């Protein structure tokens, strides 16, 4: 059996089966990875900055495709309404309303400070131009607010619903801006806050999962065909010795050397030979 299993023809079958199994396994794993990646959030293109007034309005919710967009806002900060957002990466966000000069206000996170008395909390006077990313209003955490007492002038979330009640008398645009640059630059700048770029929710591509299953099925089919051909080779190898006949059975086989010789044939008579008898001359 080992002679058959390691014959050149069967060894080629072994190599083909191993190669097909490895290739199908890798292709199936690749398709499975594509399926898994499709469910993760995908980054989208990052357009050039636009004026904040083109993406957000007072009294209307921020559109989903506007979240994370780069924007510019020009106006003056209102120092009397500035707030600090607590529990932000071991520090406080500096949240200041920016009056856009058209009767509306947009909240701006100017940066992060370690404590409330940090010099970077000072509001720069005059007109400024802020560049940053637009973010959606955060949900209000009413349970945490009831269980924790915050100092005066601090909040837990940047929520438009809450800021409307705190900043009475202003027309508040929905959402807020995380500043990445400011012109003119403040004398003491707060630590920048990471502004996430726009992302798109992933959609699972189930066809890639089906492709992965197909490749693995092909690999199993290759194993089945290998087993089928090897089994036939083993059966053919066993049947070969049993299907032959004994010596001298073929049409070209000579006389059996072990047989006794028969009697020599008798010489043929003249009559049987077919030749006429020799004639002699008659005596005188």
Q: What percent of the chain has pLDDT over 90?
A: 36
In order of 9, 38, 77, 246, the CA distances from 186 in angstroms are: 81, 43, 12, 110
String of DSSP letters for the chain? -HHHHTSHHHHHHHHHHHHHHHHHHHHHHHHHHHHHHHTS-EE---PPPEEGGGT-BBTBPPPGGGTT-EEEEEEEE-GGG-EEE-SSSSSEEEEEEEE-SSSEEEEEEEEEESSTT-GGGSPPPSEEEEEEEEEPPPPP-HHHHHHSPPPTTEESS--HHHHHHHSTTSEEBSSEEEEEEEESPPSSPPBPPP-PPPEE-----HHHHHHHHHHHHHHHHHHHHHHHHHHHHHHHHHHHHHT---TT-STT----TTSPPPPPPPPPPHHHHTPPPPP-PPP-
User: CA 282 to CA 284: how far, in whole Å?
Assistant: 6
The tens digit of pLDDT for each residue in 87-127 reads: 887 899 999 999 999 999 999 999 999 998 899 999 999 99
* 251 or 87: which leads in pLDDT: 87
Query: Beta 83-85 vs 127-135: how paired, if at all?
Result: unpaired
Residue 155 tokens read as 């909040």
Where exactly are the structural domains of the chain? Answer: 2-39+204-236, 50-200
Q: Judge whether 206 and 32 are in contact, CB under 8 Å.
A: no
* pLDDT, the chain, mean: 80
User: CA 122 to CA 124: how far, in whole Å?
Assistant: 6
Residues 6+ apart with CB under 8 A from 139: 157, 159
Q: Judge whether 104 and 173 are in contact, CB under 8 Å.
A: yes
The tens digit of pLDDT for each residue in 34-82 reads: 888 877 766 566 778 899 999 998 888 888 888 889 999 999 999 999 9
Grade residue 234 by pLDDT with cuts at 50, 70 and 90.
Answer: confident
Record the pTM. 0.57
The tens digit of pLDDT for each residue in 146-188 reads: 446 788 889 999 999 899 989 988 899 999 999 999 999 888 8
With tokens 């120092």, the residue in question is 79
* 266 or 95: which leads in pLDDT: 95
């Amino acid at each position: 059996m080992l002679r058959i299993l390691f014959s050149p023809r069967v060894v080629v079958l072994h190599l083909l089966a191993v190669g097909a199994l490895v290739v199908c396994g890798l292709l199936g794993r690749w398709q499975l990875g594509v399926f898994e990646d499709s469910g993760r959030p995908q980054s989208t293109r990052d357009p050039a900055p636009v004026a904040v007034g083109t993406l957000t309005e007072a009294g209307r919710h921020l559109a989903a495709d506007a979240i994370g967009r780069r924007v510019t806002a020009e106006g003056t900060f209102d120092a009397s309404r500035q707030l600090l957002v607590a529990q932000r990466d071991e520090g406080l966000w500096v949240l200041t309303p920016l009056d856009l000069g058209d009767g509306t206000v947009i909240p701006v996170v100017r940066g992060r400070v370690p404590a409330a008395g940090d010099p970077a909390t000072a509001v720069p006077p005059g007109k400024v131009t802020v560049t940053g990313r637009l973010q959606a209003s955060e949900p209000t955490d009413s349970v945490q607010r009831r269980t924790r007492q915050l100092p005066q002038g601090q909040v837990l979330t940047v929520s438009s619903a809450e800021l409307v009640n705190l900043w009475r008398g202003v027309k508040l645009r929905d959402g807020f801006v995380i500043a990445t640059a400011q012109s003119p630059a403040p004398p003491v700048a707060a630590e920048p806050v990471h502004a996430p770029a726009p992302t798109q929710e992933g959609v699972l591509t189930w066809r890639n999962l089906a492709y992965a299953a197909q490749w693995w099925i092909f690999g199993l089919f290759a194993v089945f065909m290998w087993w089928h051909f090897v089994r036939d080779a083993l059966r053919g190898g066993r049947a070969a010795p049993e299907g032959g006949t004994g010596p001298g059975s073929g049409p070209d086989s000579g006389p059996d050397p072990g047989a006794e010789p028969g009697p020599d044939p008798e010489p043929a008579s003249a009559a049987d030979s077919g030749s006429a008898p020799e004639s002699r001359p008659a005596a005188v």
